[in-house]
Structure 1
Amino acid sequence: MSMVLSGSGVPSASGLDDETKNALRAIGRAHPNATDELMEAARSAFAGQLDGSNTARWRAERHRALAEREERSKRSE
């Protein structure tokens, strides 16, 4: 977070997930006027990466989208 707060971007090989990188990029776009809300969103996204909830949410959404696609495919047969 210190890098984006100082005006640098998010390193491409950071090992961060998309949700965390997007939250940090939002801070970078707001530089030098990053709000407390943007900071909290980045902290929350990073915590989600650490505890696995970002991945769990991504997998659930992917599963939902695939199930929806399969259902549409069955109806069109």
Structure 2
Amino acid sequence: MDSRLLDLLVCPICKGSLQFDAAAQELICPRDKLAYPVRDDIPLMLVDLARDMTLPADATPSPSHTTTAEPAA
């Protein structure tokens, strides 16, 4: 990731600085413990896409809402 871009980007929640994890391709906010994905050198700075670093790596976050299919008649 371009260091000039990294200098401009901030966490969308706390506005703090971010650290780039090249191996994981993530921008890390140490204050909020969130990891924002970087895909094809494009940082995806959406809170909904951020990984909660306080959860175990194999944990899957529970959906914010669940949908149930109507049974077939």
Would you say same fold, with TM above 0.5?
Answer: no
TM-score of the superposed pair, with normalisation by structure 1 = 0.25
* Larger relative contact order, structure 1 or 2 (CA cutoff 8 Å, min sep 6): 1
* Higher radius of gyration, 1 or 2: 1
TM-score of the superposed pair, with normalisation by structure 2 = 0.26
